[in-house]
Amino acid sequence: MCRHAAWLGAPRRLGPLLLEPAHGLLRQSYAPRLQRCGRVNADGFGFGWYDPGLEEPVRYRRTVPIWTDANVPALATCARSACLVAAVRSATPGMPVEESATAPFSEGRWLLSHNGRVERKAVRDLADGREPESVCDSAWLAAAVFARLASGGGLADAVADVVTGAAAADPDARLNLLVADGGAVVATAWNETLFTHRGEGLLVASEPLDDRPGWCAVPDRHIVHAGPGGVRVDPL
């Protein structure tokens, strides 16, 4: 159910997330190596990045397979940022295939991607009366996280609260969230795979983008918080 990746560090292009690595998100859209549910992520894709001259992130989302969009190579070369989020989608059965249901979701400075599935009734109450961008399960999760962030909650606390609350109501949920605000990235591992790679910055991905040494599996039911103070991995 989807693959996603993020970068936080010195400004870089989207290419190292999407096209250039041997197992970048382009390859993961049709041949993921570690995906536990589903075999192809062809129900859309999206990416977002932060431009220093803009108050809100820039997004590009489509409902077609990423390999069919002729704009992607140029965008992957031109889009450059210190914080990048990208995803390819395998829609949960019964969920709509539409741009509004495609990650990354956004509000203000925040970008959010969800790798997994959850019963919508398990997250409706967590959204505090907010209407999601789409009726899909991932959009409800985004609404719940954004509600907590808008009320002044910290990034890691907001994500952890929504993930643990949704899991309590739906024990079979897969709740890998990836949330960014331009200066920090938070990611969860909950019934799906998640890896980090630290070098000149931090890569977070559903599965390794290449076969370089240094990729570390995040333990299940843990949260990664990366920001100016460094990188921390804590249990949920």
In this structure, are residues 209 and 203 in contact, taking their beta carbons and an 8 Å threshold? yes
In angstroms, the first-to-last Cα distance of the chain is: 21
Query: Is 2 labeled as catalytic in the residue annotation?
Result: yes
Distance CA 60, CA 48 (A): 6
* Bridge partners, 208 (sequence order): none
| Token pair listed for 28 | 């993961």
Helix runs in 106-201, H state only: 137-150, 155-169
In this structure, are residues 207 and 3 in contact, taking their beta carbons and an 8 Å threshold? yes
Distance CA 186, CA 94 (A): 28
Show which residues are catalytic. 2
